Amino acid sequence: MTERRVSSRVEVKLFLSQYEKDRQLRVLAANLSPTGIFVHRVNGPDLCADRVVGLELLLPDEKETIWARGEIKRVESDEMASGLGIEFTGIPELYAARISEFIGE
């Protein structure tokens, strides 16, 4: 398998909101980079790659929420939960810079 990452990532454990259509889901981030995030969530309907989702997260020790749009690029599922690799497709430069600073890039 070829490594396709364009930036470094760090392991994190933080809850965030993922929005799909009109539904808000709470998910747990496992790692984060300026270009994407990997999250764990309880399985639900319509879980597939190429779906566009909204994301709302708050980095530790920060007060301003980061909003981003992303596309699910990878799905790892078992009978109870799924891991989703999400590439940011719409994130303001200021927010991407805050993530870069957080991960020490």
Which amino acid, 70? Answer: G
What are 5-54's pLDDT values in tens digits? 566 788 999 999 999 888 899 999 999 999 999 999 987 666 676 789 99
Q: Are 8 and 105 in contact (CB under 8 A)?
A: yes
Superfamily of domain 10-103: predicted glycosyltransferase like domains (2.40.10.220)
The domain locations on the chain are 10-103
What are 52-90's pLDDT values in tens digits? 999 999 999 899 999 999 999 998 888 788 899 999 999
Q: Are 75 and 50 in contact (CB under 8 A)?
A: no
Quick one: 24 exposed, middle or buried, by C-beta within 10 A (0-12, 13-18, 19+)?
exposed
